[in-house]
Structure 1
Amino acid sequence: MPKIRILDENIANKIAAGEVVERPLSVVKELVENALDAGATRISVDIKDGGTSSITVSDNGCGIEPEDAALAFSRHATSKISRVEDLLGLSSLGFRGEALPSIASIAKVTLISRVQQRDEGIKLVIEGGSFLEESPTGCPTGTKITVEKLFYNTPARKKHLKSPSAEAGLISDLLTRLALSRSDVSFKLTSQKRVLMETPGTDKLIDTIASVHGLNVAKGMIPITGETAGLHISGYVSKPELNRATRSQQTIYINGRYVKSRLISDALQEGYHTLLSSKRYPAAVIAVETAPGMVDVNVHPAKMEVRISRERELYKLLVSAVQKAVRTPKIVPLIEPTLNHQENKSSEIKEHVYQSKDMHQDYGNQTKFNFTKQKFAGNKTHNYSTDKPKNGEKIAGVEVSNTNALNNDEMQITKQMFREKHKCYNTVECIDFPELLPLGQLMPTYILAQGAEGLYIIDQHAAHERVLYEWYLKDHDCEHSSQMLLVPVVLELGFHEYQVLTENIIKFRRLGFILEHFGDTTYMLRGVPVDFPQGEETKFFYDVLDTTSTNFYDLLAAKLACRSAIKSGQKMSIDEMNTLLQQMSDAETPYSCPHGRPTIINLSFDDLAKRFKR
C-alpha cells in the first residue's frame, strides 16, 4: 500500500479550487463578496471574453494592509472569523479563506490595494500559486484585483466552459442578484468596453429593481412586509398580471446573502394560489432577516444552499405576507388606452411612428384568426374562408355541417391536389397520417373526424401549433412576412433579457419581428409576424427572453407557433378543418405539439361497438 502523506499546498489549493472556482462566475462572486465585506459602496466589474481572458473587480472598500496582502493568499487565512463560535454569528458573506488561494492557483492574479491611513498601497502578482512580484505602488483607497489566464493549468476545466456570451450572461445574472441585496451599493458591469449593467446605489430597492429588470417590472411590484418573533420579511412581489414562465426573476436573501431556497419559493407560489395560471411564476425580491444562529450557511462550498431553523413559521409568515399584498382591490389591472401605454416615452415614440398608410395593416381591428394570411407548411398563403359553416347545426355541443362535408372520393382528390400544389417540405418521407373526413367541432376546441380506424378527435390548437412550428424550423433561413404596428411597442428590458435579444436579433427578424434599438437596454418593436395576436407582444418577449435554452431558435419557433396558432374555442368551417388535417398529414411528427401534448386521439370502431354492447 502506498504511504500516506500530506499534500503539497499548491496541490491542495488546486483541489480546493475545483469546489470553489467552477467557472468565471465563481471568481466574480468571491471577489465581489469580498468587496462587500470590505464596506465598499462602489463596485466595478470588467470582463473580457466572458471572463475567460480577464476579470477585474475594483472597489472603494477599506483596502488591505501591506503586511496582510501576501497572507490573504494563504489557505484558510481570513479576517472574518477567529474561533469556531464565530460560525454561529456570521454576518459576513465570506469566511472560509479559500477563495483567493484557490483562484491564484489556477490563474494569474494581480492585486493592488491601499488603506486610507497610508500614503501608498501594495501590489502583488501571483501565477499558479507562485509569487512573482511584491512592491509598493500608488493607488486610490480600496482594492483592485485582476484575474487573467483562468484555468490555464487545468485545461480540462476550461474545455467545459460555455461560450463567452453565455459566461457573461451568468455573471450579469449574479451581479443583478447581488445588486438587489445591496441597494445602497452602486454596481457596474462592463464587457468589451460596453456597459451591461449599472445600478444607482440610492439605498432604494425599487430603484435597483428598475435598473436591473426594467421600468415596466418596477411599476408592477408591490411592497410586502411581515414579522413574527425572531423573523422579519421585506421586499417586493409582482402583481398577478406580471408573471413569467420561469422563476428567474425571483431573488431570495437570508441575512443579506443570496440563496436558493425551495421552501421560500414554494411559499411565494402558495401566496398566489388561484391567482396565476399553471406554470406561471411571479417576480419577487424577498429579504429574510433572522438571528445568525438560526441559519447554517456552511453547507455548500458556494454558500448558495442554507439550512434554516423554524422553517414552518417562515413558510406561514411569507404566505401570509404575500396574500395580504396581492389580494387587495388596489392591484386590479388597469386597462390603459393603447396610444398612451408608454407614457414616459410617448413623445419619443410619436416621432418614430411611420406615417405612410401603405406601410400599415389594420392590426388593431383584428378580432379573430385570419386564415387567409397565415402561412403553413411551406406554401405562401391559404385562401380558405373564415365564415361560420353554412346550414350548420349543433347537436349535443357538436357543430355539424353536412353541406360542406366531402365524401371519401372527394377527399382523396382534394388531398392529391393539395400535395401536388404544395409539395411535402420535409427532407424525409411524410409519416403515414390517416385519411380523415372532418365532421364538425366539439366545444368548439376539438375537430371530430372519421377515418378508416374509427372516430378521430383532433386538438385544433395543438395540431395547428405543430404545423406552424415545423414550418418555422424548415424555413429557418427565410425571412417571414411582417405586419407593421400602428403604434410601436417599447420593450424596456432587464440586462439578461437585453443580452439574449441582442444576441438573437437576427433570429427574431427572420420570423417577422421588426425591432430597433432604442437606447440603453430598450428596444422598439415596430412589426410582428402576420397574424401575431394583438396585445401579446410584451408578454411574448418577456417569456421568450426569460430563458437559458441552448437551442434558442427552436424555443422561439415553439413559442411563436403557440401564440399564432388557432385558439381553443375558435370556430372553424369544414374547409378550414380539412385544410388543417391536410397540413398535419404533411408534418414530420404530426402526433404531438412542440410541447409534447398529443394532437390527435382515436376511438376505434371496435371500442365503439363494445361500449354500445353490439
Structure 2
Amino acid sequence: MTRQPITLLPDTLRNQIAAGEVVERPASVLKELVENSLDAGATRIDVVIEGGGASVLQVTDDGQGIPAGELALAVTRHATSKLKTAADLFTVTSFGFRGEALPSIASVSHLLLTSRAREAAEAASLEVDQGVLKAEGPAALACGTRVEMRRLFSGTPARLKFLRSEATEAKRCQEALMRMALARPDVAFSLVSGGRELFRLPGGQDLAGRLARFWPPQVTEGLVKFRREKDGMTAHGLAGSPCHAQNRADRMFFYVNSRPVQDRLLMRAAREAYKGRLLSGEYPQLALFLELPPEEVDVNVHPAKTEVRFRDESAVFSLVRWALEPVAGSAALAEPGGGYAAAGASPAWGGAGASRPSAAPGGTSPWLGRGDESAPARLRAYASFLSPEAEREVPLPLTPPAPSVERFPSDRSGAAADQAAASLGAAAPRALQRENLEYLGQVADTYLVLRQGGAHGRLVIVDQHAAHERVILEGMRRARAAGHTQPLAVPLPLSLHPSEALRLEELAGELREVGYLLERDGDVLLLSGVPPTLATGRAVQHLREILAEQSDGLTSLWTLLSCKSAIKAGQPLATDEALALLEAWLDAPEREHCPHGRPVVASFGESELERLFKRT
C-alpha cells in the first residue's frame, strides 16, 4: 500500500465530518435550533416542517436576536457567545455552547439565517448553501431570529438514504420539541407539519397542564407530584403509580438542569424505586427533573449533549430512588396532579396494571426444545377443547379436535371428576407423544406434574392456566383476520384527545380485525361494535388504553381475551384433558411464559432436589 502524505482537510469536508456528530436527522436539527432560541431568552418559539423536516425546517423565536455584524460568525465553527474560558466548560448553564450547531447544519443543507437584535433598527440575513456563503444583507423581521433550513443532506446523498419515511421523521421532530416544551412550560411553543398544526402551547403553564396536551387523560389523571431535596440537589416532577404502568419506556422523561437527557443511571434509579411492584417489562410514566449545581455534572461528554456524567453518581442515584419510592408504593392515587395518595385496594383483574403483557423471551428452553411453530391446527383445536365457553365467545375458525380425543363435557360425570381430583400418588403415569415426558397428575387443581427422562430425570411442573393462556393467544394470532364483532344497539360516542386521534389513525385496521367497529366524526369517535368476548364497558376501557398507548395494541387485547377464556386455577382436569393441553402447549412458541410474562413451567433436576432436601 502506497503511503499517502498527511494534509489538512478542506474546510467544507471538516464541517461535514463535524456535522455527522451533531446532525443525524431533522429532529437533531430542530433540537439544536430550539436550544439556541431558549438560550436567547425566547418566550415564544414557532416551528414549521415540511417533508418530515428534511425538505423544510423553520424555527422562529422572539429572543434577543443577533446583531448584523455577528451573523457571519454565527455560522463559523467554534464561534459562540456562551463560553469565554476553559473554566466555563465545568459550569455550563446554557443548552448549546460548543459553537458547532449552525455551521454544522449549514454545511449539509441550504440555510437562511435572519435575525434582528432588540436594539437594532432593522433585521439582517445571510444565506449559506452546503457550507458556502451565498448572500447577505438587510431583511424584514421583528425582534428575534428565524432559521430556515432546506434540503437537508442534499449535498451528501449517502446520508440521505438513512432517513426514514416522512411520517417517521415528522414524528421524531414532534417528540423532540415535546421533550423541550416540557422542560420550559413558561415558554409558548407551536408546531406545524405539512401545513397542519400539530400543537400550540401557551406560555405560563405548569408541568401537569403541559403534559395533558401530549398524554391522554387515562395517563395524566394517574400522575402524582413528587419533590425531594438533599445536599444541594433536588429531584421533582410527576410520576405514575405501578397500577398505571405500561409495557414501553417511551413515557419516562429525564431532565438534568432542564436539559433533556438519556441517562442509564437515572433510568436504573427509577426502576429500582419501582422494583417488586411492576411485572417484567413494565415501565412507569415519569417526568423527572434533577436540579444540581453546574459543577456537579459534566454536560460535555456527548456531541449532541444528550448524555451527562455526574460527579457523585451514588448521591444522584439515592436521591432519585428516594424521591420516587412514595409514588411507587402508592396503589391508588388521589386527584390529578395531586400529592402522594394513600394506598388503596389493588386494581380488579384486567385493570390498567393487570392485563398488560410483557415481553416474553424466546429461544430454547433449558429443559425442552424450541416449540414447533408449524402446528396451528393443534393450537386452534385446543383453544376450544378445554373451554366450551371460549368456543362460544371467541369466533375463531377453530379446527375440530382429533376424533380420538373426547371433548370436554359441559356437565362433568362423577367418574371424570373423581379421576381429575385423584391424589398424585394414585394417578397412573401417562406418556406424551414426545419430549420423553410422562404425566403424573394434578396438584391443587392448578399444577400439572410431569417427569422427564425416566426415573432419574427431572420433575416438571406446569401452571395449567398460564399454559392455556399461551395456547389460546397463539390460536388468536393465527386467526387474527376473522374480524367478528358484536354490534351495539346504539353507537357509543367517545371524545378523542389529539394524541388518541393520531394513535387511532395508526391502529384503525388492527382494531377492526379484533372486532371494533369505529367511525370518526371530528373529535368524536362513534363505537358501534366491540369484540364479541368483551362486555361493552371492558371493551371501551381497553380501547382507551390502546389509544392512550398504555397497552400494546392487538397483543394486549389478545392477552386479555386469552386470560378470559383460559381454564382457571382450581379447576380439576381429567387425564385426557391435561394431556391435550400439554400437547398443545408444547407446540406453542414462547411457551416458557404466559402472555403476561409470568412463568408457565418450573423444573427440578436431581441436584436441585438434593439441595432442596439438604442432601448435598
Q: If the length of structure 1 is used for normalisation, what is the TM-score?
A: 0.75
Cα offset, 1:93, TM superposition? 0.4
Instruction: Trace 1:107-506 onto structure 2 (pairs within 5 A).
Output: 107-327=109-329, 330-333=341-344, 370-375=389-394, 378-379=397-398, 390-391=414-415, 399=421, 441-447=442-448, 459-475=463-479, 477-482=481-486, 484=488, 495=499, 499-506=502-509
**Higher alpha-carbon deviation: 479-488 or 218-227:** 479-488
Cα offset, 1:254, TM superposition? 0.9
Kindly provide the amino acid, as one letter, of the partner of residue 98 in structure 2: R
Structure 1 portions without partners, runs of 5+: 342-367, 413-431, 609-614
**Higher alpha-carbon deviation: 463-472 or 93-102:** 463-472
CA RMSD in angstroms comes to 4.5
SS at the partner of 1:195? Answer: strand
Cα offset, 1:372, TM superposition? 3.0
1:120/1:475 CA distance change after superposition, 3 Å: farther
Is the 2:395–2:484 contact (alpha carbons within 8 Å) kept by the matching residues of 1?
Answer: no
SS at the partner of 2:341? Answer: helix
Identity among equivalent positions (%) equals 33
Is the 1:248–1:546 contact (alpha carbons within 8 Å) kept by the matching residues of 2?
Answer: no
Cα offset, 1:482, TM superposition? 4.2
Kindly provide the amino acid, as one letter, of the partner of residue 502 in structure 2: Q
1:269/1:451 CA distance change after superposition, 3 Å: closer
SS at the partner of 1:101? Answer: helix
Query: Within 2, Cα distance between the matches of 1:250 and 1:579?
Result: 43
Is the 2:18–2:104 contact (alpha carbons within 8 Å) kept by the matching residues of 1?
Answer: yes
Partner of 2:569: 569
Query: Within 2, Cα distance between the matches of 1:434 and 1:192?
Result: 58
Give a deviation string over 1:92-131, Cα, whole Å, max 9, x none: 1000111111111111122222223334222322221122
1:320/1:557 CA distance change after superposition, 3 Å: closer
Query: Within 1, Cα distance between the matches of 2:529 and 2:88?
Result: 59
Cα offset, 1:219, TM superposition? 1.7
Kindly provide the amino acid, as one letter, of the partner of residue 398 in structure 2: N
Query: Within 1, Cα distance between the matches of 2:582 and 2:557?
Result: 21
Cα offset, 1:19, TM superposition? 0.9
Query: Within 2, Cα distance between the matches of 1:513 and 1:440?
Result: 41
Cα offset, 1:561, TM superposition? 6.5
SS at the partner of 1:507? Answer: helix
Give a deviation string over 1:517-569, Cα, whole Å, max 9, x none: 4755x8666644232487486467647975999xx87x568756665552652
Query: Within 2, Cα distance between the matches of 1:500 and 1:6?
Result: 51
Q: If the length of structure 2 is used for normalisation, what is the TM-score?
A: 0.75
Instruction: Trace 1:502-513 onto structure 2 (pairs within 5 A).
Output: 502-513=505-516
SS at the partner of 1:116? Answer: coil
Query: Within 2, Cα distance between the matches of 1:548 and 1:51?
Result: 29
Cα offset, 1:600, TM superposition? 7.5
Is the 1:231–1:289 contact (alpha carbons within 8 Å) kept by the matching residues of 2?
Answer: yes
Give a deviation string over 1:491-513, Cα, whole Å, max 9, x none: 86674x65344223212211223
Cα offset, 1:483, TM superposition? 6.2
Query: Within 1, Cα distance between the matches of 2:38 and 2:227?
Result: 25
1:485/1:282 CA distance change after superposition, 3 Å: farther
Q: Does 1:30 align with 2:49?
A: no
Is the 1:444–1:568 contact (alpha carbons within 8 Å) kept by the matching residues of 2?
Answer: no
Cα offset, 1:147, TM superposition? 1.8
Cα offset, 1:47, TM superposition? 2.1
Cα offset, 1:184, TM superposition? 0.8
Kindly provide the amino acid, as one letter, of the partner of residue 370 in structure 1: E
Query: Within 2, Cα distance between the matches of 1:436 and 1:312?
Result: 50
Give a deviation string over 1:149-183, Cα, whole Å, max 9, x none: 11112222221222222222222222222111111
Structure 2 portions without partners, runs of 5+: 331-339, 353-386, 402-406, 610-616
Give a deviation string over 1:370-428, Cα, whole Å, max 9, x none: 31334487328999656667555589xx73599xx9x99xx99xxxxxxxxxxxxxxxx
Query: Within 1, Cα distance between the matches of 2:437 and 2:347?
Result: 46
Partner of 1:348: none
Is the 2:491–2:526 contact (alpha carbons within 8 Å) kept by the matching residues of 1?
Answer: no
Give a deviation string over 1:354-381, Cα, whole Å, max 9, x none: xxxxxxxxxxxxxx99313344873289
Is the 1:232–1:289 contact (alpha carbons within 8 Å) kept by the matching residues of 2?
Answer: yes
Give a deviation string over 1:279-334, Cα, whole Å, max 9, x none: 32221111111111111000011111111122222222222222244546834357
